[in-house]
Amino acid sequence: MKTKNENEKKDSDSLLTRLRSGPSLFSLALYVIAIAVIIICENMNFFYETGEIIGYIFLIFLIYAMFIILQGRTILGKELNNSERYLLASLIGSYIIGSILIKNLTTVVDRLPIALAIPTGLFIMLLAVFMGKRLAVIMAVAIPLGAYFTGAFDYHSYIIALVSGAAASTVLQNAHNRMSLIKAGIVIAVANCFAVVVVLLLRQANVYEYPALLFWAALNGIICGMLTIGFLPPLEHALNAVTPFRLMELSDLNAPILRKLFTTAPGTYTHSLMVANLAEQACQDIGANALLARVGAYYHDIGKMENPDYFVENQTDHNRHDEIAPRLSATIIRSHVKLGVEKAKNLGLPKDIISIIAEHHGNSIIEWFYNKATEQEITVNSEDFAYPGSPPHSKESAIVMLADITEAAVRTLNKPTASKIDKFVQQLFDAKIDHGQLCESELSFRDLEIIKKSFVRVLAGYYHARIEYPKQKEEKDE
């Protein structure tokens, strides 16, 4: 819900920020190392091949400029954080430097393409897991091209690396368990074999060359899958990143923190499951990260475990807020956001999950206690009754907010029907828009309409009319 000029200004500012950022300077340092490696590999013929070395230097700086542009919102659809920039720079630099070293510092059989000694699929799959398919597809073309321009790859090696990277960039789509990485390695192996056959046909190679090269091509793909399994866990924890595999682990309802939530605040636990179902379905309908929304919904109310009896879903006999002042009630209600964030940090949850916990109420006012306080006090500061968070900054966080308020509010409807729920949900959405809680979420009005329909569909199915059994009807009549 931002204007085009604001977005353009933000992109321009972010480009200048990226040029001055530490990760960008880190990537430049890696490329400078690449220049040094090239010079060393050229036997230090600096005075005799000055023009070539200068060409390499300009090429490296050109790649650096492309790196700066590629990590922007315009290309990726999002702004990379510092950890992601460091990872991207490290992978690109390592690939180019490693290719040069293997080309010049080892004895390679002339008939064996250098690309078969480089795990291109590993680099691209790591990018796909941590930064998304779009960047992985771009880098599947750009990274082998960088190795080709620096002289590490010949034309045939570039073809093999390009095919291997293209396969790796798409093979992990919808992969949610680590066994998928083994299958991905097999797919990359098949793609490598196909590329090798094409290269051998272009070279008009003898038939006896096929078995050895096909063996190395298949081995390259399988090793890529196995290495990815080995590299993922330490990188996930080092970067505290949200990957499909990490999210699947966090979605286990037998996790100790979720079991504790079930025992101490069963109403909140049930509410969280329902919010997760709503958020996941809505994210699927608009193309957002459904798994992230589901996991975020599981954990969004873990702060309520400290004072479960003060939240209506956990109350059975009486309302504890009837015994205390509205200002104190608001303080207890507000505190569950801060407590949830602290628990999430202690658990080492990814930043995206912590953001959902911190933003699921935004900075909205707790209206019930605020209105009650205005009846008892002459002057009331609304900020004393506002949640301590900020409006959601992602689609998933905003959807969890909407699912949270919708699930809780629909419970108050008497005999809810699809039309009743539709009208009521629209009122809730309009209230959030009017109070500016969705301004930073990047949700469009079209998205909101799809989300509303998704919520209504799920809730109407959950609260569908039930047939009264004869005994229930007799008791009702009595």
Give yes or no: residues 82 and 107 share one domain: yes
Give yes or no: residues 67 and 106 share one domain: yes
pLDDT of 44 reads: 47
pLDDT of 273 reads: 94
Q: Is residue 260 part of a domain?
A: yes
Give yes or no: residues 204 and 72 share one domain: yes
Give yes or no: residues 56 and 194 share one domain: yes
Cα–Cα distance measured from residue 119 to residue 273, given in angstroms and rounded to the nearest whole number: 41
Which among 214, 240, 266 is the end of a domain? Answer: 240
pLDDT of 310 reads: 87
Cα–Cα distance measured from residue 30 to residue 146, given in angstroms and rounded to the nearest whole number: 13
Give yes or no: residues 326 and 454 share one domain: yes
Q: Is residue 172 part of a domain?
A: yes
Looking at the DSSP assignment, which residues form a beta bridge with residue 386? Answer: 365
- What token pair was written down for 350? 């990814």
Which among 184, 219, 240 is the end of a domain? Answer: 240
Residues of the chain with pLDDT under 70: 1-78, 105-111, 174-175, 464-478
Give yes or no: residues 233 and 356 share one domain: no
Give yes or no: residues 387 and 453 share one domain: yes
Cα–Cα distance measured from residue 273 to residue 329, given in angstroms and rounded to the nearest whole number: 25
Domain that holds residue 141: 4-240
Q: Is 351 within 8 Å of 334 (Cβ atoms)?
A: no
Burial of 133 (0-12, 13-18, 19+ CB in 10 A): middle
The mean pLDDT of the chain is 81
Give yes or no: residues 53 and 106 share one domain: yes
CATH of the domain at 445: 1.10.3210
Which among 183, 206, 240 is the end of a domain? Answer: 240
Q: Is 235 within 8 Å of 278 (Cβ atoms)?
A: no
Give yes or no: residues 91 and 153 share one domain: yes
Give yes or no: residues 251 and 203 share one domain: no
Q: Is residue 292 part of a domain?
A: yes
pLDDT of 52 reads: 61
Q: Is residue 477 part of a domain?
A: no
Q: Is residue 396 part of a domain?
A: yes
Give yes or no: residues 104 and 11 share one domain: yes
pLDDT of 2 reads: 47
Q: Is residue 368 part of a domain?
A: yes
Question: What is the domain count for the chain?
Answer: 2
**DSSP letters for 342-353:** HHHHHHT--HHH
Q: Is residue 476 part of a domain?
A: no
Q: Is 406 within 8 Å of 454 (Cβ atoms)?
A: no
Note the pLDDT tens digit of each residue in 130-181: 888 888 888 888 889 888 877 788 888 899 999 999 999 888 876 677 778 8
Give yes or no: residues 106 and 221 share one domain: yes
Q: Is 164 within 8 Å of 120 (Cβ atoms)?
A: yes
- What token pair was written down for 303? 């702060």
